[in-house]
Amino acid sequence: MSVSSDVNAETAEQFNTYMKRYPELYQSLASCVQEHLSSQTPVILDLGAGTGLLTLELQLRYPTATLLGLDPLRTMLRLAKDNTRETSSSAVHWLQGVSEALPLKSGMVEGVVTRFSLPYWNQPEKSFQEINRVLKPGGVVILQGLNKDYPRWKLALLRLLMRLRTAPKNVITYHLDAYKIAHTRAWVEDLFTSTGFRLLLSSGKPWDWQFLIIAQKTQG
Ligand SMILES: C[S@@+](CC[C@H](N)C(=O)[O-])C[C@H]1O[C@@H](n2cnc3c(N)ncnc32)[C@H](O)[C@@H]1O
């Protein structure tokens, strides 16, 4: 299935504006990160950070953390820098790169959080190995994924809802196309366990639009 991970500047801008209407989506995931990382001064990587709206919530919760935001697209990173500039909290180090070859030293990160980026990764297995490499032993991954099993009739409803909420056409297409390349929760669980992680939590019903998996790098 060919769905490009590349988005033009207009779509990125519109995605940014649209998603800012739903801060609670980022706030709940940031709270989940906080629940699962014990350190108050962790190094956290937001992988596939997009326009940085999750990173912003992490900034507010972790005033003394080292936050790393990574995305392959310059256009996303530009918006992410704008979104996180004002916060007089921990600085974010923005990195251009891909999940398949993280530009980070081994064992330097306590937590990796990634929201709806996995469908776009060309080599998921290699990416998970990279995540494992950059994590410290005992480090945690919090992955929010789009559910491939989400029923088609619900997708049609979602399209309608987004139209009613006056989402731009590009943003609707960006959202819905992602389901064409999404994965099942079971598939992602297998990927975690085959790349050196222990599952701490896996939740999401087959008919939900998303799932959440929290996994820990096994010690040693
Ligand atoms: C749907 S957006 C989600 C952005 C952000 N996480 C959010 O929830 O607002 C998916 C992001 O994944 C990024 N992406 C695509 N391929 C990637 C890769 N191989 N490694 C890391 N990020 C990637 C895209 O550029 C895009 O910013």
The predicted pLDDT at position 110 comes to 96
**Residue 40 DSSP one-character state:** S
Q: Is the CB of 115 under 6 A from ligand 1?
A: yes
Q: How far is CA 105 from CA 39, 118, 130, 135, 209, in A?
A: 20, 21, 10, 9, 34
> What atom of ligand 1 comes closest to residue 73's alpha carbon?
25
If one residue of 11, 15, 71 were mutated to test the ligand 1 pocket, choosing by the most ligand atoms within 8 A of its CB, it would be 71
Whether residue 146 has its Cβ less than 6 Å from ligand 1: no
Residue type, 8: N
Q: Which among 52, 56, 26, 42 is positioned nearest to 139, based on CA atoms?
A: 42
* pLDDT (0 to 100) of residue 220: 62
Residue 76 Cα: closest atom of ligand 1: 27
CA 6 to ligand 1: nearest atom? 25
Helix, strand, coil percent values for the chain (each to nearest 5): 45, 25, 30
Could you identify the atom of ligand 1 that is nearest to the CA of residue 122? 19
Cβ 13 under 6 angstroms from ligand 1: no
Separation in Å, CA 191 to CA 40, 75, 102? 29, 30, 18
Of 97, 39, 32, give the one whose Cα is nearest residue 68: 97
pLDDT tens column, 5-24:
788 999 999 999 999 999 99
With a 6 Å cutoff on the Cβ, whether 19 touches ligand 1 is yes
Average pLDDT, the chain: 94
β-sheet bridge partners, residue 202 = 213
What is the CA(207)–ligand 1 centre distance, in A? 23
Both tokens assigned to 208: 């939900």
Ligand 1 nearest atom to the CA of residue 114, by list position: 6
Q: Is the CB of 26 under 6 A from ligand 1?
A: no
Domains of the chain: 23-149+182-217 (3.40.50.150)
CB-CB neighbours of 28 under 10 Å: 12
Angstrom CA distances, 36 to 112, 113, 187, 198, stand at 11, 11, 23, 14
Measuring CA to CA, how many Å separate 205 from each of 46, 149, 160, 185, 211?
A: 25, 9, 22, 9, 8
pLDDT given for residue 6 in this prediction: 80
Q: CA-to-CA distance for 68 and 200, rounded, in angstroms?
A: 23
Q: Write the pLDDT tens digit of every residue in 166-215.
A: 999 999 999 999 999 999 999 999 999 999 999 999 999 999 999 999 99
- The reported pLDDT for the residue numbered 101 is 98
Helix (H, G, I), strand (E, B) or coil at 3: coil
Report whether pLDDT(1) > 60.
Answer: no
Token readout for 31 is 């709270």
pTM summary value: 0.96
Whole-number Å distance between alpha carbons of 117 and 146: 9
